[in-house]
Chain A
Amino acid sequence: MNTILRKTILAPGVKDFLVDAPRIARKRKAGQFIMLRVRQEGERIPLTIADADPEAGWIRLIFQEVGRSTVELGRLEEGDSILDLAGPLGRPTHIEERGTVVCVGGGIGTAPVHPIAKANKEMGNRVISIIGARSADLLIMEEEMAKASDRLLVCTDDGSKGIKGFVTQVLQQLMDEGEPIKEVVAIGPVVMMRAVSEVTRASGIPTVVSLNATMVDGTGMCGGCRVTVDGRSRFVCVDGPEFNGHAVDFGELLQRQRAYTEQERQAMAQDHVCHIGRDQ
């Protein structure tokens, strides 16, 4: 169970796993995620299901190594198993016939935006995708996004590939060109999702963002993932992860993501190699 069938390195520190998980593969819809644990004393962390094949029985996870759990996950090799894997969790993306939909992926956010672009295309919508990264070597899934979109715009902060600039500038241009945009889906760092929501706010284009709150169980049992949307407290894992970007309190989300900065530093400093030889 949960065997890693294929491991690919997409960019420095970004890994791509195909994992054997037939039950999840059968059920999952675009926008949903899983919770996983790498080892007995490990944390439960959420990752989006970037793709799945219900027949072959695999799901695809694409993740960036940012801290202890993702680094440990990245150490697993083909043939290894992920200790615990639960899902699919969260509400699926609401996909309907709308016309033109713009999918914006920032950095690793391209991975979760990909299934949404794909599903929109399958629905018959015109999909324009914008993907961005700091530099060319950090860009991921360009080909796949091209396939899932009618039009793909690539940008980098340093101009090493595609348009030089942020995804928000590219989106603004599209809007200025008069694209009849019916919806924007933006996934990436919180500051990016906030900026995208600001760009679309004035024109009132519905904007969906996928929030990466810190989670524990992922099933609505702890409330640790709560965010304020429209002045109301919501649980990202069961009420989301997608919300109306114009209603989200991004400042609070950023603040809550910093809740464990000190502990995360401590955890990385004591890399898990030093557990060897200890009781466990």
Chain B
Amino acid sequence: MSQYAPIPKARPGKVDRVPMPEQDPIERGRNFLEVPFGYSPEMAQVEASRCLECKDPTCIKGCPVGIDIRGFVVKIREGDFQGAVDIIKHDNALPAVCGRVCPQETQCEEVCVVGRKHTPVAIGRLERFAADWERDQGVVAIPKLAHSTGRRVAVVGSGPAGLTVAGELALRGHSVTIFEALHKPGGVLMYGIPEFRLPKDIVEAEVDYVRKLGVEIIYNAVIGKMITVQELLEEEGFHAVFLGLGAGLPYFMNIPGENLNGVYSANEYLTRVNLMKAYDFPRADTPVRPGQKVAVFGGGNVAMDAARTALRMGAAEVSVIYRRSMEEMPARREEIHHAEEEGINMRLLCNPVNILGDEQGNVTGVTCLRMELGEPDASGRRRPVPVEGSEFVVESDTVVVAIGNGANPLLTEATPELKLNKWGNIVADDATGRTSMPGVYAGGDIVIGAATVILAMGAGKQAALAMHEELMAKEIN
């Protein structure tokens, strides 16, 4: 039981959204510590008291995994934090992650009833609070597992999709083994999203929870190369396979100069810094070039992460170069706001056309063209058109290309049975994750293209349910 006394519901609109304390922008631009500090129990209770506790809570429909939001928010207001955690974990095995990185403003919070007239309830912050509170207690409750079913499942990839499938199936009594190509778990949570947005010990703790459910994780296991999917089913004794491979293929712009020294894909740049700890070089062995003037191409979350990382690696000047305007920027508002606060220069309506270098092959600058917004294109966004003769050079010694990721063909090439779409994504049923290969399911970025953590988890959850049904219907010996 928690020692916090319940507080009453606030009158609608009478209490403003409780701000979350965060590090000073100038100071945090030089360290890798998490930017927001999180709510105290008192702040969380006050924020929770703003919830109307609706009879028909629309917020739940905005959450891809359908967390009983009203239920857990009420528990927080009542001071029963463990109760809140239990409710959240019923539908979401990684709440400390989602509370931090979900685009809440376009999901649960967008449809919160309070949001019609006032600022919506800070659902993400409350979720994060509950998860952090539990971790701070030191004991993370492990739910009771079902009796062993004797069924064995192989999960390929330990990103949010794979971890969710593994957790859900372990809870139902199946024996689950995750095969991960890298030496660490978590997928993008570990190698992509930076420490200052998602501390790695939180990812480790969430993975640990899945491990405590009895899931085994085998690292350095590149499926398609070391073992094929077919062999998992036919020789290794697995009754089903889930593919949560992510969108691990970096796109480049295919402009001159892209192979100069100092040009990185965002994947490479962030992997060097996050997974390989280049910020700790030379104590850690993997280096990254210490850019002073860094140009980042793109306008999504990945671009913001790369830009803010470059700043923390010691850059004096960081520009984000994006060909459309602020309105079209796909990154979360909060990320753009944080980046601007830290002094990152947004060069909007600019398109890089050429990367310049010196005789040694080092980057020296980027030639850009100014753009204007023209007619709307197929995506409904106004198409940027270049302004004739508007070339100018952005001096840079490091360039990070963050224009998107596609499907990595490593596994699918070795698995001709899998049906792919024209972009190389695995074709899987929306509701069940079933692929064209019997016993094989897929979900997350490898199916829908680079998306979000919570969508990957949602897909994982649905696939787990379908897999459970199929597994239980299967005769095994």
Q: Do A and B come from one complex?
A: yes
Partner of A216, one of B220, B281, B286: B286
Given A27-B225, A221-B249, A255-B360, CB of A267 within 8 Å of CB of B264: no
Q: Is the CB of A41 within 8 A of B360?
A: no
Q: Is the CB of A255 within 8 A of B261?
A: yes
Q: Is the CB of B183 within 8 A of A84?
A: yes
Q: Is the CB of B282 within 8 A of A267?
A: yes
Contacting chain B: which of A155-163, A170-178, A222-230?
A: A222-230
Complex alpha-carbon distance, A166 and B258, angstroms = 34
Counting chain B residues whose Cβ lies within 8 A of the other chain, the interface size class is 35 or more
Complex alpha-carbon distance, A88 and B250, angstroms = 22
Whether B287 is near chain A, meaning CB under 8 Å from some CB there, is yes
How distant is A73 from chain B, measured CB to nearest CB, in Å?
A: 11
For residue B220, which residues in chain A have a CB less than 8 angstroms away from its CB?
35, 84-86
Per-residue CB proximity of B285-299 to A under 8 Å, as 1/0? 111010000000000
Q: Is the CB of B226 within 8 A of A24?
A: yes
Whether A89 is near chain B, meaning CB under 8 Å from some CB there, is yes
Q: Which of B272-288 contact A (CB under 8 A)?
A: 272, 276-277, 280-287
How distant is A204 from chain B, measured CB to nearest CB, in Å?
A: 27
For residue B271, which residues in chain A have a CB less than 8 angstroms away from its CB?
216-217, 221-222
Whether A240 is near chain B, meaning CB under 8 Å from some CB there, is no
Complex alpha-carbon distance, A270 and B249, angstroms = 34
Q: Is the CB of B276 within 8 A of A44?
A: yes
How distant is B469 from chain A, measured CB to nearest CB, in Å?
A: 32
For residue A228, which residues in chain B have a CB less than 8 angstroms away from its CB?
259
Whether B410 is near chain A, meaning CB under 8 Å from some CB there, is yes
For residue A182, which residues in chain B have a CB less than 8 angstroms away from its CB?
none
Complex alpha-carbon distance, A83 and B219, angstroms = 11
Partner of B252, one of A41, A87, A219, A223: A223
Per-residue CB proximity of B214-225 to A under 8 Å, as 1/0? 000001111001
Whether B181 is near chain A, meaning CB under 8 Å from some CB there, is yes
Given A219-B408, A260-B289, CB of A41 within 8 Å of CB of B283: yes
Q: Is the CB of B276 within 8 A of A220?
A: no
For residue B284, which residues in chain A have a CB less than 8 angstroms away from its CB?
41-42
Whether B265 is near chain A, meaning CB under 8 Å from some CB there, is yes
How distant is A74 from chain B, measured CB to nearest CB, in Å?
A: 15
For residue B410, which residues in chain A have a CB less than 8 angstroms away from its CB?
219-220, 238
Q: Which of A78-137 contact B (CB under 8 A)?
A: 83-89
Considering only CB atoms and an 8 Å cut-off, how many residues of chain A contact the other chain? 45
Complex alpha-carbon distance, A23 and B281, angstroms = 33
Given A86-B220, A216-B271, A220-B408, CB of A266 within 8 Å of CB of B282: yes
Whether B450 is near chain A, meaning CB under 8 Å from some CB there, is no
How distant is B305 from chain A, measured CB to nearest CB, in Å?
A: 15
Q: Is the CB of B285 within 8 A of A68?
A: yes
Of the candidates B249, B284, B286, B289, the one having the most CB atoms from chain A within 10 angstroms of its own CB is B286
Q: Is the CB of A41 within 8 A of B408?
A: no
Q: Is the CB of B259 within 8 A of A252?
A: yes
Q: Which of B402-435 contact A (CB under 8 A)?
A: 408-410
For residue B249, which residues in chain A have a CB less than 8 angstroms away from its CB?
220-221
Q: Is the CB of A259 within 8 A of B289?
A: yes
For residue A246, which residues in chain B have a CB less than 8 angstroms away from its CB?
none
Beta-carbon nearest neighbor of B413 in chain A: A238
For residue B264, which residues in chain A have a CB less than 8 angstroms away from its CB?
223-224
| A interface residues (Cβ-Cβ under 8 A, vs B) | 23-24, 27, 35, 37, 41-44, 68-69, 83-89, 216-217, 219-224, 226-228, 233, 238, 252, 255-256, 258-260, 263-264, 266-267, 270, 275, 278, 280
Q: For the complex of A and B, list the 7 residue pairs with the smallest distance between their C-beta atoms, beginning with the closest.
A: A255-B361, A263-B287, A222-B268, A86-B220, A43-B285, A41-B284, A259-B261
A-B contacts, 20 of them at CB < 8 A, read A27-B225, A27-B227, A41-B284, A44-B183, A44-B276, A44-B286, A68-B285, A87-B222, A216-B268, A216-B286, A221-B249, A222-B265, A223-B250, A224-B268, A233-B252, A233-B254, A255-B360, A258-B360, A267-B285, A267-B287
